[in-house]
Structure formats: structure tokens, C-alpha cells
A and B are shown apart, each in its own frame.
Chain A
Amino acid sequence: MTHRALRRTYQTFFLLLFLFLLTVGRTGWIRGWPVDLFFHADPLLAIGTMLSSRSLHGGLALSLGVVLATVFLGRVFCGWVCPLGTLNDAIGWRGRGSAAKQRAANAPRALFRTKYYLLVGFLVAALLGTLLAGMLDPLSLVARGLQTLVGPLLAGVGVPLFSHDVYLPGGILPALLLASVLAANRFIPRLWCKAFCPLGALLGLLSRYAPFGIGRDSALCTSCGVCDLTCSGAATPSAELARSECVVCMNCRTRCPEGALSYGRVGAPVPERRPPGIDGRRAALAAVVGLVAWPAIRAGSPSPAEAAERRVRPPGAVPEDEFLARCARCGLCARSCPTGVIQLATSEAGVEGIWTPVMRFDAGYCEVSCVLCGHVCPTGAIQALTPARKLGREADEQTPVKIGTAFYDRGRCLPWAMDRPCVVCEEVCPVSPKAIWTQDATVQTRDGEAITLKRPQVDPARCIGCGICQYHCPVEDRPAIRVSAVGESRGGPFLLS
């Protein structure tokens, strides 16, 4: 087996494992599978959350393994493990065209520095409190993208990735991002990895002084340049290898007709002069851009009032500042949700909250005893609850976890506005005693007939904000009862006790 074949075997294994864990990440299929495994191994998320939240969420310690492997062996994660890298390889047109074309497609470019500037920008944002890196983290990108790009098709052919009807408002954006990343391989193989991947940039920095790598025996080398034709990282193995760009794909080693290239111990690196090296001034500029952009983004986000109306977070979500510091925007919570109420935000949570999970009560409602989202969250943005903790045990004087409060719109509610019996909301209210209670009201109809109606009210002390009332309200367009984040457990009370 050539080294390239061995690498492809690893890639296939890890891609299948990733797809398997993604597939089983829905209600009823999760069982005990570690659906968060890949995310826990992601150093970008680990370092990002360490900077943003000043703490390390348990499972992310696994990423230390990837860090160590990279420091010693180079970017093996990119070349051998990363599912997005594998997808890029699988559909890259590397083998196409004349030698000149291949050489051009796999040549280093100044553009490829971008990923380092993105990384710096993301790390600055993390220091300031928001884990924006989740937007472009390759694992989050591919998980979120596959869900929104392929999920609807699979549901249509009877293999639903989701446990609910596929309704993904705003899902076209993450789908398009993945589609663009994959399509870019048509022009430059692994363009994403070379130019934009912030995790690749981080691993590139870590691998800069790796004692193991691709070495060239200049006594054997005839400078034919075949190795450059298929280099996955545009690392120019024909000359001085750009180690931080090399993803250890072994293509060069396999292709070299003289056997001049080998993977093994390499000496101290000469300073990298070619484009992939970081330009200190530009890195500083990226930091400044991040510094300016972050307050601008925050200020341009929804006001607290708008946020309270539209940005309801899943049960167990930590307070908003910490939530933004932790959420990897991977979408695992949305996939685990049995009803589809958890959706990836488009505008609900502002620019800094794009693709973070919000509760969309037009799409579903929070199943009262379900706690799956907190158990699949890889970064602790949503805490793992037990059903007993979520519901609150009266015996222990625990209050239930409240994600918001329901409010009636009496101008739309049938018993209030149109003197019609209804109270579906009261029937489905899952807490006991029900948070929705009814008053008997005797009213005169237009025809002069006296009828007695049950008119619903919300008891804010009982309401947990699950939104099943809103979901089942027969007034479809803008339901007569709607849940907002007001009164959520994470925030302050809005009523005096």
C-alpha cells in the first residue's frame, strides 16, 4: 500500500465515521453515540472557547491530542482526518488537464494568506467574547451544510436526517456556503483549505516547527517538478517545502519518480519566504480590523427588546454573553430536536449570532421532558439537563427551566376577539397546574344570544415558555399566543414576586 492509499483509507474511515455520527444525531437514533466526538477534537473550538469563555468545556480536552499530533507530525488532521478536507479531495479535479494546468492550479498564491488573517480576526473576536470562528470552522461548516443541503433531499426519499418535518427557515445560507466550498475545488483543489480555513491556519501555525515532515533528498532530486502538480497544500515540495501549508497528503512522495521525497525526521526549518508565510503587518491589520469590527457588529445587533422577542434560546442555554462565547454553530442541537423548534438563526440573533440556535415556534415547540439538545452540545453553550431538573422538582423547591413566557394577543384570540370557543392552548399546556387557565365569561353575540365562553389567561409564574400553545394555535399566520424570551431563567425576572 502506498502512503497515498493509506491516507485515503484513513480519510474514508473518518469521513464515514463523521457521517455516521451526524446521521445518528437525531431523536431516537442517538442512544449512547458520541455525536460530539469530532467537535471535541477540534482545537479551533477549544482555543476559541478558552479565549472567549476563560474556561475549557470538558470534552474539548480531546483536542489536545490533535494539537500534539500537529506539533510533531504536521497537519495530519487536515490531510487524513478532516471530513471537509476529504470531501474537497474527493471532488477536487486535481488529476485533470495538462501538467501546466495542474501546476497552475496547485501553485501557491498570495490569497492563501487569508486564512491566517481570518484566524487572527476570529481569535480577537473570541478574546472580546464571541466565538465567531464557528461560522467558518470546517467541522461546523460541513455538519451544518450537509444538514441543510442534503437533509431535505434525504427526507424526501424517506431517509430523514431530522426527526421532524424538514422545515429549515434560512437553511439555504449554510447550504450555499458548503456548496460554494465544494464547487471551488473545480478551480483550485482544496481552495477552502488553502485559503480560508481558520482551523487549517491554526494547525499550520502549530506545525511550523514539526520535527517530522516531508523531506527532499537533493542528491536524488532531478528538479522535474512532478511533485508540485498534485500537492494538496500548494506547499511546493520541489523546492523548500512550506511546512505550515503541507497537509501530509503524501501525493508528492507517491508521485516522485526518483524516490527523492520521504516522510520522516526533518531538520530545523528555514524561514518560510513564500506567500503562505504570515506578514506581521497584515496580521496586525487583521487584529485591528477585528477590534473595530467587533464593537460595530455588537452595536448593529438587535436591541435587547428585539432580542427578547425573537431570540429565544434552547432550554439549558447559558446566559447570552457566555452563550455567544461558547456556541460553535455546529447545529447538532437542531438535529437532535424532536420537533424542529431549534433552528439556526439567520437574523434573529444579529450578525454575531448567525447560525446560533434559536427557538422558532412556527416550526415546532419544546417537548416538555426532552433534554437532548444540551446533551449533544459539544461546547457547553447548552448545558446538559436531566428531565427532572428541566421540569423542576416541587419536593426540592426547584423551579422549572423557563425559556420564555407566553403572551396573549387578545385582538387575535378567538374567545377574546371573536367570541368563539377555542382554548387549544390550554389543552396542550404541559405543566401542572396548567400555566394557561380559563375564565368563564358570558357575552352577548351579534344575534343577541347570551353564550358562556372560556377565555384563556397565562399565569407567568407557571409558564415555562415551551411554545406548544403558539405551535397549536389555530390562528396560523401570527398566532394569538406567542412566546418571547421575557422572563427566561437566564435573565432577570420581569414581574415582582
Chain B
Amino acid sequence: MKPQRRAFLSLLARASGAGLLLTGGYAVLHRRPIRRGSEGLVLPDYRQGLESLDIAMSAADARLPDVGVRRAVEALGGMDRFVLPGDRVLIKPNVGFDRPPSFGATTSPEVVSAVVRLCREAGAREVWVTDNPINNPRRCFAVSGIGSAAEAAGATVLLPRASDFGSIVIQGEAIGSWEGLADLLGRADRLIGIPTVKDHNLAGISVTMKNWYGFLGTGRNTFHQKLDEVIADLAGAFAPTLVVVDGTRSLIRNGPTGGRASDVMATDQVAAGTDQVALDSWAAELMGRSSRAIKSIRLAERRGFGTSTWRSLNPVMT
């Protein structure tokens, strides 16, 4: 009997060893992202180390999107005032939906590639384009045309992975810390938002401030209970290097998803600047709406995140 028992014990030991090794290997490879505690990543000022701007805002005719983007950025002094050689630039267009560009639910790929090229010309070491969309990320980047346009212009498209997420400090009035793309935001030197101009049933509009929603993750479907407050919170938390608003098309109804050509109006403009409230007010007017009617604009202005009277910034219009 004895040798059999010994053989059995030895087999058991070997099997357990192999099992432990396998599960251990699995656990190492399948690490959950490490949460940065309740505090999380404190978002830096992405304008750090840059000279202040002489001109705070510009808008340009963008029937040729590439030309329009160039003109708008030139009017602010050129991309050299925003991106320094060697910078890692994180670009956040609105890639929220699985829609072709003509439906106006996502940023125009031409505007994204124009901004990417300007960053490259300014000497950016790396240009990352990301978004955490509502629909399947791979399809959103493919169908919107943003994935291929950004890569052709020299950017790296980063589809969100579980390991990119971590806690981000928002410290607003409606939300405190929230899970989001902390890893990318922490590694980037510069942050450029490229929102598009859209109708939104609950918030009125979805443009610059709402665009940061795409950096956040799990549980963001609770934001709608205090949506305007959350949008103002986001405007307070994110201090972008630059925002280029894509107003080549405006989604004027059935937003933020659209779905029919008749929901879209050609507005042929882009605007650039750093004042998110001013840019959102400009966009509301572009859609033929009053910025006073948009609660998130009122809240953000009251909290000192910008001005809704965008003309007071003396924008350069070309």
C-alpha cells in the first residue's frame, strides 16, 4: 500500500505545484489596475511652462477644415505657443458614437488630423488620441474615421484598456474623485480638446466642457441626475492646453447621437482658445441658441471658469 500512497502524494504535490504556478502566472498577467486611493490623480495644469496668450480666442471659416484649423491656431500665435518640442500631447476628440462623420455625432476626422499635424510640426514627441466612448471603442474609432485620420497624420490611437483606468480627482460640487483614464492623463504634458458642436436633450448642448466626460469611466451614467453641475465640475477640473471646437458641422437636433443627415447643419466654422465657457457660448450661438439658456454655462461662469460673453475676449475672426 505504502508506495502507492507515496506516489499519490507525490502526484498531488506536483499537480498542486503546477496549479499554483499557472494561477500565479495568470494573476500576475491579469492584474487589476491599482487604484490611487480615494485621492487619485490630481490633474495638472496642462498650460504649465507656457507663456500667457495675447489673444485668448479665435474663430475661422472652415469650409476647408485643415485651412480653418491652421488659421484659428495661427491667430492665437501658432501651435508653438501650446506645444513645446518633446512634449507628449494627449488629444481628446469626441469619438463617443459608432457613427459616420456626416452624422455630426463625432468630431470631423479632418479637424482631428489638422490638429495632430500642427502638434507634430511643433515638435511633439508623441501625440495620443483617445476617448472612452458610449459605443464599442474599436467601432467608434473606425466608423467615425478618426482612427485612421489620426494615425495617418502621425498620432497614436489609444483605445481604452482596463489598465489605463484609475481614480482622478475632480473635486467639484457634484462629484469628488472618479474612475477615468488616469494613466494617460498623468503621463501627458499637454491636453488638447477637440469637441464637436452638438445638441443634447438634458444639457442643452454638448461641446467643450461635456467632452471631458469621455475621460471618465464606470458609473458615469449617474451623472445625469445632476448633469449641469457635473459638466461645470469637469470644466473646473480640466485645464487644457488648448481647445479647438469643430463647428464644421453642428448636430442641431436628436443629439447627442443624431442618425439622420437632416439632424446636421453645415456651420463651417472652427474656434480655438482656452476659455471653455466662452467656447461653449460661441458654439451655442453657432447653433442659433442663447448661451443664457444653457445651465452648465451659467454654472461654470458663476464659478469663475470663464466668461459666457465670448466677444469680450476680442476674438480674432478670420
Contacts and interface: CB of A to CB of B under 8 A. Distances in A.
Interface of A: 27-28, 153, 156-158, 163-164, 338-339, 367-370, 394, 414, 420-424, 426-434, 438, 454, 468, 472-474
Please list the 4 inter-chain residue pairs (A to B) with the smallest Cβ-Cβ separation, ordered nearest first: A432-B259, A156-B30, A338-B136, A432-B260
A421 B226 CA distance: 7
Contacts of A338: 136, 138-139
11 contacts: A156-B29, A339-B136, A367-B139, A368-B98, A423-B201, A430-B98, A430-B259, A431-B259, A454-B201, A468-B135, A473-B221
Interface in B133-186: 134-136, 138-139, 142-143
A432 B226 CA distance: 25
A286 B134 CA distance: 52
A471 to B, nearest CB: 9
B254 interface: yes
Contact of B134 (A156, A428, A432, A434): A428
Interface in B198-252: 200-202, 219, 221-222, 224-227
A158 B29 CA distance: 8
Contacts of A414: 225
Given A367-B98, A427-B201, A428-B134, A434 B29 contact: no
Contact of A420 (B219, B225, B254): B225
Interface of B: 26, 29-30, 97-99, 134-136, 138-139, 142-143, 200-202, 219, 221-222, 224-227, 254, 256-260, 263
A427 B257 CA distance: 7
A454 B257 contact: no
Nearest to A158: B29
B98 A369 contact: yes
Contact of A157 (B30, B142, B260): B30
A477 B302 CA distance: 38
Given A367-B135, A421-B202, A430 B257 contact: yes
Contacts of B225: 414, 420-422, 474
Contacts of A423: 201-202, 224
A433 B221 contact: no
Contacts of A421: 202, 224-227
B136 A163 contact: yes
A340 B259 CA distance: 23
Nearest to A420: B225
A339 B134 CA distance: 11
Given A339-B136, A367-B135, A431-B259, 16 more contacts: A28-B142, A338-B136, A367-B98, A369-B139, A370-B98, A394-B260, A421-B202, A422-B224, A427-B201, A428-B257, A430-B97, A430-B257, A430-B259, A432-B254, A432-B257, A432-B260
B208 to A, nearest CB: 18
A164 to B, nearest CB: 8
Contacts of B226: 421
Nearest to B143: A369
B195 to A, nearest CB: 16
Nearest to A432: B259
Given A27-B138, A421-B227, A427 B259 contact: no
Contact of A433 (B136, B200, B254, B256): B254
Contacts of B221: 424, 472-474
Contacts of B97: 430
A394 B222 CA distance: 34
Contact of B257 (A158, A420, A434, A473): A434
B227 A367 contact: no
Given A422-B225, A423-B202, A157 B136 contact: no
